[in-house]
A and B are shown apart, each in its own frame.
Chain A
Amino acid sequence: MDFSLSPEEARFRDQVRGWLRDNLDDRTREAAAGHDDIELRRDWQRRVHEAGFAGVSWPRELGGQGGTLMQEVIVNQEMAAARAPDMLNVIGLYMAGPTILAHGTPEQKARHIPPLLRADEIWCQGFSEPNSGSDLASLRTRAVIDGDDFVVSGQKVWTTLAHVSRWCILLTRTDSAETAHAGLTYLIVDMQSPGVEVRPLRQITGDAEFNEMYLTDVRVPRANLLGAVGGGWRVAMTTLMHERATLGVGLQVRSRIALDELRALARTTLVDGVPRSADPVVRQRIAQLVIEVEAMRINGLRGLSRVLQGEQPGPEGSVNKLMWSELNQRIAETALDLLGPYGTLAEGEERAPRNGRWAYGYLRSRANSIEGGTSEVLRNILAERVLGLPRGR
């Protein structure tokens, strides 16, 4: 058992750290924190790619670095630890890209992977529908084969970044067979096609980070089929597995950063001159969060270790998604409790701590147990696929 990096990995980490030190300034950090400066984030991803730190484990001929999975994890960890802006093309890098690499034709790979890595083309994901969130197999967006095209009609929701995306990984129904999984087909859709309409969806934070997407007789060439007609479920599982496995390592570091900020908050928030961190209850709550975030980190490393030994990422990734969303919520809840009434003050209010960032974080964290698989669905996955319990209802 060895939790330390090999000398080569440590050298690579130092290289990433050095680059971040030289290339990441506070202005970029702060400007990106709002998440709405698309051009700034696009520029950031380009620079990261030019430095050789995007698509680290992807093939060289497609613009990747041909490196190891461990190097990719190191990049994710260092980026998060340096509070680097999120990569703009998050769906592209962590979901669409790995899925195309696993199931795409050589033409699809050559066409899509290089511009995806450079953030020249942004990707979004059309999985969820208004009546088909967790029950993904019940989705109703239809794709009918017509000559060399699929003709697609339906509605998607929660499509992150759809308003700036060039491409969408779209899950459709080509067959209304009884077995809901069997009739699904996975398509790559050009967002500039006639019949695609994107409407911003305002959330409880007031932001419009997500969208609704309406598809009316959108023609998708057969060449944009990923996998087989009716084989979309298997392809979609690759996407979701990658979402939960690869993304998890970076998320964990972000939880640790939020926790560091919470500790600082507890030490610096005074009530009648006494820091909140002197309260035994506060100490217990924060210590428990620290312990659980650490458990999540090591669980992640154990899963990663198995992948490094050549095993596929398994449903165990669901353990960490479940832990992460609930921990993130508890970190935000604890922060708001520490702040008392000030915690409810919003951005722009003079007395709002950190200009309302804790309040915003609290509201945003409510989505964590819904997006990327609800906590209920993840518990079902753990119960059925890891523990082998009978299918629930």
Chain B
Amino acid sequence: MNVGLTDEQELLRRQARDFLDRECPAARVRQLMEDDLGHDPRMYARMVELGWTAIPFAERHGGLGLGLVDLAVVLEEMGRHVVPSPFQSSVGLAGMTLAASGDEAQAARLLPSICDGSQLATVALVEESGRWDAGGVRMAAERSSDAWLLHGEKLFVPDAQVADRMIVATRTAADPADGLTLLVVNTAAPGVTVRPLASMDATRRVAAVGFDAVEVPADAVVGEPGRGWATLRRGLDRAMVCIAAELAGTAQRVLEMTVEYARVRQQFGRPIGAYQAVSHRCADMLVMVESARSLAYHAAWALDNDVPEAPLAAAMAKAYAGDAARSVASNGLQLHGGIGFTWEHDIHLHLKRAKWGEATLGDATHHRERVAQLLEL
């Protein structure tokens, strides 16, 4: 047993932090928040050069053949810097879904372009109900002789504004447990409309995507028709862990900012960090940050090694990280006092990202119920 990072992973962490300190300081984040694309394609290209987009994918698909643990190292750093980037949706969500689908043909077709950054991908799952499970998918796909026909709307589709392709979850059978079919849809296809949703976190774009008689070729299915949820579930478990790692990083940064502030900010003649009302909150924040990181890395290891409790570990990691990041960010803002509430201070960037991460792919209540089910409570 050695649950520390390897020397290579430590190197990757240092490289990621140096790169992001340089390329994505808070001032740059703020510029990108105002940008229509919501990210900097040049920065993305540099991340591709560093190999980040290829980390968790097989070498035969253009990847580096590393694991989720390695990806988590990079994502934790991206979370620290609240980087506005479609990296999470393309690599962590769509890419991991393809890689976990076991569909060699689709993986061979799409993963190389995700690895080399020539294409961005995302996943369209949620609809009107706001549910993150199979039952929430109502949008039907009708099968004709050589195509699928799509009608309907997907919501909260991450980075749809820049995605070239999206994996769309559609209903093709009335099955309470599954009955879904995953289809790869070209975002530029006739009938697809992308409408950005104004949301709290401008560093993470989401969109409403309309499908008006969109025709998708028959061979666009990922995995087996009618078994899409089983496929997507494997991808979502991995994506959840990616978000958990990011949230651990954002919470860690809030803790550091808060501790720095509590050491210098004086009130009533001494630093506020000398008051237990402040220092004890910081101690509780530390417990949450460390626990979020532990659960995220353990889940990443469990998924990499396909251990039986991996889905449980993923649900635990996402449930905890969502609550912890929100709570740490709220506490951090509180301890900053009035300055923390201003637009000028960076802490709100972290609070908003934490809130996005908490709600995305199911919040803590959703995943605690999953934990209860997996434990047969």
Contact = CB atoms under 8 A, between A and B. Distances in A.
Interface of A: 1-6, 9, 70, 263, 266-267, 277, 280, 283-284, 286-288, 290-292, 294-296, 298-299, 301-302, 304-306, 308-309, 316, 319, 322-323, 376, 378-380, 382-384, 386-393
Contacts of A308: 1-2
Contacts of B368: 283-284, 287-288, 291
Nearest to A260: B375
A9 B259 CA distance: 40
B237 to A, nearest CB: 15
B313 to A, nearest CB: 8
Contacts of B280: 376, 379-380, 383
Contacts, number: 160
B329 interface: no
B63 to A, nearest CB: 19
A299 B271 CA distance: 30
Contact of A299 (B4, B291, B305): B291
Nearest to B278: A389
Interface of B: 1-6, 9, 69, 255, 259, 262-263, 270-271, 273-276, 278-280, 282-284, 286-287, 290-292, 294-295, 297-298, 300-302, 305, 313, 316, 319-320, 365, 368-369, 371-372, 375, 377
A323 B255 CA distance: 18
B320 A384 contact: no
A286 B319 CA distance: 13
Contacts of A277: 372, 377
Given A306-B4, A383-B282, A390 B271 contact: yes
A1 B2 contact: yes
B262 A3 contact: no
Contacts of B271: 389-390
Contacts of A267: 377
A301 B305 CA distance: 18
B279 A384 contact: yes
A286 B377 contact: yes
B298 A3 contact: yes
Contacts of A263: 375, 377
A308 B6 CA distance: 14
Contacts of B365: 284
Given A291-B316, A387-B282, A387-B286, A3 B276 contact: no
A263 B375 CA distance: 9
Determine which residue in B278, B280, B284 has the highest number of CB atoms from chain A within 10 A of its CB, and name it: B280
Contact of A287 (B262, B275, B319): B319
Given A283-B372, A319-B290, A323-B287, A3 B3 contact: yes
A308 B375 CA distance: 32
A323 B286 CA distance: 11
A229 to B, nearest CB: 33
A316 B4 CA distance: 15
Lowest 10 A-B CB distances belong to which pairs? A383-B279, A295-B291, A298-B294, A287-B368, A389-B273, A379-B283, A382-B283, A287-B371, A283-B372, A390-B274
A364 to B, nearest CB: 23
Chain B binding site: helix, strand, loop or mixed by DSSP? Answer: helix
A207 to B, nearest CB: 30
30 contacts: A3-B298, A6-B1, A266-B377, A283-B377, A284-B372, A287-B369, A287-B377, A288-B319, A288-B368, A291-B368, A292-B320, A294-B313, A295-B291, A298-B291, A298-B294, A298-B297, A305-B4, A308-B1, A319-B287, A323-B291, A382-B283, A383-B279, A389-B259, A390-B263, A390-B271, A390-B273, A392-B274, A392-B275, A392-B276, A393-B276
Contacts of B305: 4
B301 A322 contact: no
Contact of A379 (B263, B274, B276, B369): B276
B377 A379 contact: no
Given A291-B368, A305-B4, A309-B4, A389 B377 contact: no
A296 B283 CA distance: 15
B319 A389 contact: no
A282 B320 CA distance: 17
Contacts of B5: 1
A306 B294 CA distance: 14
A1 B69 contact: yes
Contacts of A319: 286-287, 290
B291 A379 contact: no
Contacts of B286: 319, 382, 386-387
Contacts of B372: 277, 283-284, 286-287
Contacts of A386: 286
Contact of A389 (B263, B301, B316): B263
Contacts of B69: 1
A4 B290 contact: no
B375 A290 contact: yes
Given A287-B371, A383-B273, A1 B377 contact: no
Contact of B298 (A283, A298, A379, A393): A298
A295 B3 contact: no
B276 A301 contact: no
B3 A389 contact: no
Contacts of A322: 283, 287
Most central of A9, A291, A319 by chain B CB within 10 Å: A291
A312 B319 CA distance: 32
Nearest to B67: A1
A130 B263 CA distance: 34
Contact of A3 (B301, B371, B375): B301
B2 to A, nearest CB: 6
A2 B316 contact: no
Given A1-B2, A1-B301, A287-B377, A389 B262 contact: yes
Contact of A283 (B4, B275, B294, B369): B369
A2 B6 CA distance: 10
A380 B276 contact: yes
Nearest to B297: A1
A306 B1 CA distance: 11
Which of B263, B292, B295, B377 has the most chain A CB atoms closer than 10 A to its own CB? B377
Nearest to A4: B1
Nearest to B324: A295
Contacts of A284: 365, 368-369, 372
A389 B274 contact: yes
Contact of B284 (A298, A301, A379): A379
A376 B277 CA distance: 11
